[in-house]
């Protein structure tokens, strides 16, 4: 399992693969940090 965390808050997540983690993190950014998400 891969652990991920957010640079902007205390969000953490577990994913089975790196691409899955990227997807989870992008979803989190889009939902909670839209400005950071737009910036990429």
Residue with tokens 């950071």: 36
Residue closer to Zn ion, measured from CB, 32 or 34? 32
- Determine phi and psi for 37, rounding to 5 degrees: -65, -45
18 contacts Zn ion (rule: CB under 5 A): no
Tokens coding 6: 């957010």
Please, what is the minimum distance in Å from the beta carbon of residue 16 to Zn ion?
21
Q: Which of 27, 4, 28, 6 is nearest to 15 (CA)?
A: 4
Please, what is the minimum distance in Å from the beta carbon of residue 35 to Zn ion?
11
31 contacts Zn ion (rule: CB under 5 A): no
Summarize as ranges the residues that interact with Zn ion (CB under 5 A): 6, 8-9, 11, 32
């Amino acid at each position: 399992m891969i652990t991920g965390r957010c640079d902007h808050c205390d969000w953490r997540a577990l994913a089975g693969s790196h691409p899955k983690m990227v997807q989870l993190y992008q979803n989190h950014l889009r939902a909670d940090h839209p400005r950071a998400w737009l910036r990429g």
